[in-house]
Chains A and B, each alone.
Chain A
Amino acid sequence: MTLKTETPDNKPKAIILRTAGTNCDYETRYALEKAGADVDLVHVNQLVKDKGLLGSYHIFVLPGGFTYGDDIAAGKVLANQLRHHLLDELTRFVDDGKLVIGICNGFQVLIKMGLLPGINGTQPSSNEYRQEFTLTYNDSNKFEDRWVYLKSFSDKSVFIDKDCLLYVPIAHAEGKFVAGDGGELENLGKSGQIIFKYVDKDGNIANYPWNPNGSLDNIAGICDSTGRVLGMMPHPERYIEPTQHPRWTREGLKAEGDGIAIFRNAVNYVKEKMWQKRP
């Protein structure tokens, strides 16, 4: 794979990480391209071999799927691999002001490797491993595919503004957000890192099936202390085209799907915030 050299005229460059059991790469790529990014799909083996590669991108994407079969626990094995082989590169990537998004399995990976939530601004080092939150089995004990309403409760993330209501699907078995008992959740709320919560169609906090997995405090997505790393269980890349909506035959076709906002915000952030800084 050959990479184009970066100039501000170019489109922001996104890298979708691939490994055994990655899926959702096709539609994630489509969403990013539609939002204006230049996208490469890169296998983790290649990234580990050529560590400098990561630096040529602006948006790092961990897509959905079942990496390594979700053996042991969802996202665990890739999280372990990234922590031990690419942690420095990823930390530098974030420190450089670049963006990271993990969707579904990607969120599970970010949480389990500790890149999220990074509450005190410190990124995890490979020596001290701590995990303050986790994503575990749904209360229903099974995989579920259903559409959910999300509301953004903070303006900390560069991926979404506050008070947006999004309709997107979830498709997972291990998406219940759980916190440790040392006040982690409170801190997360205080620092504005709780980005998405599951709500009903009017935007109110509600129980199953609105909260599809029993997540603590209805949490569907969180960001890190910089606002540049986002993890979320629902799949925004599955609602880009208006015909993806489950009721478009009733409600009519919208101009575009709700999910595009997240990718477009990311692309625009790179163009407006990162590239402006450079002469």
Chain B
Amino acid sequence: MEKRIEVFTKANFPDAIGNEVASEIANIGITSVDEIRTVQVYLIDGELSKDEIKRICSELLIDGLTQDYACINGSSEQPADIQAGHRDNTVYTIEVTRKRGVMDPVESTVIKGIRDLGMSARSVKTAKRFLVAGSLSIEQVEAIADKVLANKIIEDVFINKDNLFYEDKNEAIEYVFHRHTLEILNADDEQLLSISQEGQLYLSLEEMKAVQKYFTTLGRNPTDVELETIAQTWSEHCMHKTFRGMIDCDGELIDNLLANTVMKATSELDKSWCVSVFKDNAGIIEFDENYNICFKVETHNHPSAIEPYGGANTGIGGVIRDTLGTGLGAKPILNTDVFCFGPLDIGQEMIPEGVLHPKRIFKGVVGGVRDYGNRMGIPTANGSIFFDERYTSNPIVYCGNVGLISRDKCEKKSHEGDLILLVGGRTGRDGIHGATFSSVELTHQSEVVSGGAVQIGDPIMEKKVTDALMKALDRSLYNNITDCGAGGLSSAVGEMGEELGAVVDLEKVPLKYDGLSYSEIWISEAQERMVLSVPPENMEEIREVFQREDVEATFIGEFTGDKRLRLRYKGEDVADIEMEFLHDGLPRIIRKAVWRSPSHEEPDIKVKKDYGEDLKKVLSSWNVCSKEWVIRQYDHEVQGGSVLKPLQGVDNDGPGDACIIRPVLSSGKGIIVSNGMNPKYGDIDPYHMAASAIDEALRQIISVGGNLEMVALLDNFSWGNTDKPVCLGGLVRAAKACYDMAIYYETPFISGKDSLNNEFKSGDKTISIPPTLLISAIGVMPDVTRAISMDVKSPDNLIYILGMTKDELGGSHYYDIHGFKGNSVPKVDREVGKKTMDLLANATGKGLVRSCHDCSEGGLAVAAAEMSFAGGYGIELDLSRVPVETGVDRDDIILFSESNSRFIVEVQPEKQKEFEETISGIPYGCMGKVLDNDVFTIQSQGGKNVISEKISDLKEAWQATLRL
């Protein structure tokens, strides 16, 4: 009989989780909750005496100072009475437990803790119980459960049921082998399509016909797992059919867009410091005489929409595994994350049915990245958050990771006869395409095992895998490695064995629970797993390395040399196909693309005498406002490498441009990481959006003291439905801009990823995300003591603007606060832009710059204001000194235009001459100076004050928005 143990905070201590939940409930408009107490529930099954249970509770499960417990041994005993003080009110109980198959790592930790006490438990199950006191209707209680406490995708909710015992949790459900084949040899078109649909294979008719033809030559029908393997290998996610396919763009035939733009720039630039590009899990560039660095950014959008915490967990966990699986393995040293959400203040009535509120998605995603990154001990020091209504039902989550890799560990290759070793977490039904399983019934014998399509990550497992892997790496115990990500074992083994062939015995794969079919084992996307290719002679040694770190490692097959993929289940053959067909058999089709410039309404904004309010509005807008609430929750300095932190200035709270880390503490060499993105420009023209994003990412590298000599780029496209020719046309334009910019700035792309079809159907309405290209940049900094922060440093220093200000308010934040988009999107003058960056880099290299800030979202006024309040000093500026394009005569254009390639720079008066000589040849203006007061003043071209604000007021406007 299982014991139910309830642990709760003593009445005289604040209930941290309860208080947090209470404020969330107030956020959804329910104000009649008086108090919430939380109860952690453990259901422990094992032969344990009363005294033993008592010891488990008092020594392991509670903190005796702040917590108490109750042990309920059966339905006759009462659960924890913590309703005192609320006798007059109704107290509701809401119990939340994870659905079967959604693992809670706490369960195995408790089993371990009990073992350390010298006892043993068969199983542990956890749940959370919330006691909600207040005058509430049952509908309100249900709303609290649904909108705040639980996510029914992964959790079961029980309201007002005392004394819950979940039975049969561990009842094994045996899998009975049955080889499943599908009749396709004689299938007509309609039947082929229906096989694809029913199997959720997402293969088109052309693709199904190619499969049919192949199996006709074999003279037999395929098994289910063969079809699954083909579908997975040929999926958009793995094959990038759109980017690598044929596109007819307004009559121009493009055979492989990626090879003709992004990758072409890299091969033409042919930089000697590019070690590995577009072939491994991450791109690799040189760092120093011992190490290279690798960088990868991934999207994880759809899972994050459904289960934000778990989705973001697995997003960051997945990209960290990319680093672990780059070359023979790299040490993860930095996380980056960029998110796109709907506005957090959007009304509930604007949220489509079945969609979570942006605030919940936002908090869940931030929590997911925080908990995974922090627990892995990897600093999260760069990122940004972007808001637009169109991300409400389709949020975008980009997670990136930088790794440090020994120079001699960058190449890998499996050898014939190598054994296939699976390490890390166990395999369950996690992430199997949309398969749905019913949930466990309360106190009833359930015959159905449920599994979550979305899994909660287990960062400690991944940390253990990392630690063990680094040991195996040091000893050179394996020849090849890759991560188990999308497509699971199918993808990992398929890729590694592409040239050799592989055989796998699927029953050897360790499972979280019984009942999985051979096909499910093969395609499961269970997290925290890696696949290694191990020479047979190292078998025992590598097994021991993992064992010592408590990481499961299982040999599941062999790389054969017969160039076939063969799968077996308990000796029975279940798949046998040629690697060549799998990897090269995909038929190519031509997609249509067109491009037509949209036309947006041009705003008519009246000229004003004072733009102070406009400045505060832009500062407080969602995209510009301080993200400190998020940044502080990330450990941005673990590993000790941080040189330039995301928050800067006299009070450690100003917005830095790029981050700088020192991955090897004994060396003065650093890495600069930045990002650029502006989907608002994409509504006008994706070409200029892409060019601006690249310019922005590079500006940030320059702003912090870097130069363009050794900077690599990553592209991450999140787009709408590219089956629509206009949408695909925009993608082609953006890719072309990537080529043009990379070639001119001499910054090669080394890796990238795309996520297409980001749209949401609600009834007959389709909402597509705006074209969203994230550009990440990584540069090597020879001497980190040259780093520059963005906060102004001391009174009387001069303030310069570098670059030309143009009438480019299209897609700007200034237009946005007035409700317009406009058409005059910022373009990049590559010649001036490159020269500006190179000369400014010379100046920072000579130590002539005290502070520098990238002039981007919100334009000159916002950048200068941020520098001013971050430094704690006032600034006075004169707009007549700003170099402007002919015809620009309005103050608001100069203040808020988002023209590219501009910087605001602080220079000491004694260095004025040398600075101006150094930057001679580019447009610049000395537009003012730092003041020994707290007022931020800007004079119009006509000599009158158009902005005069206290810096504390500006800072407050900037900080108040996201002070949650």
Binding site for B on A (CB under 8 A): 18, 20-24, 26-27, 30, 43, 45-46, 64-66, 68-73, 76-77, 80-81, 84-85, 112, 129, 131-134, 136-139, 141-147, 169, 171, 178-180, 237-238, 240-241, 243-244, 246-247, 249-250, 253
Contact = CB atoms under 8 A, between A and B. Distances in A.
A249 to B, nearest CB: 4
Contact of A247 (B61, B464, B650, B785): B650
A26 B460 CA distance: 17
Given A241-B640, A250-B789, A81 B116 contact: yes
B375 A45 contact: no
A46 B375 contact: no
A70 B376 CA distance: 12
Given A84-B116, A129-B59, A26 B640 contact: yes
Contacts of B632: 144-146
Nearest to B645: A246
A46 B548 contact: yes
B106 A71 contact: yes
Interface of B: 13-14, 16-17, 19-20, 58-61, 63-66, 105-106, 109-110, 112-113, 116-118, 370, 374-377, 458-460, 463-464, 467, 548-550, 631-640, 642-645, 647-650, 652, 662, 665-666, 784-785, 787-789, 791, 793, 851, 871
Contacts of B851: 249
B61 A72 contact: yes
Contacts of B117: 80, 84
Contacts of A45: 548-550
Given A73-B63, A84-B117, 19 more contacts: A21-B460, A23-B463, A23-B639, A24-B638, A43-B548, A76-B113, A77-B109, A77-B116, A129-B58, A131-B65, A132-B65, A136-B16, A147-B652, A238-B637, A241-B665, A243-B662, A243-B784, A247-B649, A250-B791
Nearest to A259: B640
A108 B460 CA distance: 18
Nearest to A33: B666
Nearest to A181: B12
Contacts of A65: 377
B75 to A, nearest CB: 26
Given A143-B370, A178-B66, A246-B645, A30 B791 contact: no
A131 B65 CA distance: 7
A100 to B, nearest CB: 20
- Closest 7 pairs between A and B when the two form their complex, measured CB to CB: A23-B377, A27-B640, A137-B16, A71-B109, A249-B789, A69-B460, A71-B106
A19 to B, nearest CB: 9
B634 A145 contact: yes
Contacts of B463: 20-23
B644 A69 contact: no
B22 to A, nearest CB: 10
Given A30-B666, A73-B63, A247 B652 contact: yes
A77 B377 contact: no
A77 B19 CA distance: 25
A141 B631 CA distance: 15
B634 A250 contact: no
22 contacts: A20-B460, A21-B464, A23-B377, A45-B549, A66-B460, A72-B110, A72-B113, A76-B60, A77-B113, A131-B64, A134-B65, A142-B633, A143-B374, A145-B636, A146-B632, A171-B637, A171-B638, A178-B66, A244-B637, A244-B642, A246-B652, A249-B644
A253 B784 CA distance: 12
A231 B9 CA distance: 25
A133 B65 CA distance: 7
Looking at A30, A178, A240, A246, the one whose CB has the most chain B CB atoms below 10 A away is: A246
A238 B640 contact: yes
Contacts of A72: 60-61, 106, 109-110, 113
B468 to A, nearest CB: 10
B106 A144 contact: no
Contacts of A241: 640, 662, 665
A45 to B, nearest CB: 6
A104 to B, nearest CB: 10
B518 to A, nearest CB: 31
A239 to B, nearest CB: 9
A251 to B, nearest CB: 9
Given A23-B463, A131-B63, A141 B105 contact: no
A21 B463 CA distance: 6
Contacts of B644: 249
A69 B567 CA distance: 36
B642 to A, nearest CB: 6
Contacts of B650: 247, 250
Given A80-B117, A136-B13, A246-B647, A24 B548 contact: no
B20 A141 contact: yes
A98 to B, nearest CB: 24
A87 to B, nearest CB: 11
Contact of B785 (A131, A180, A246, A253): A253
A240 B645 CA distance: 16
B665 A136 contact: no
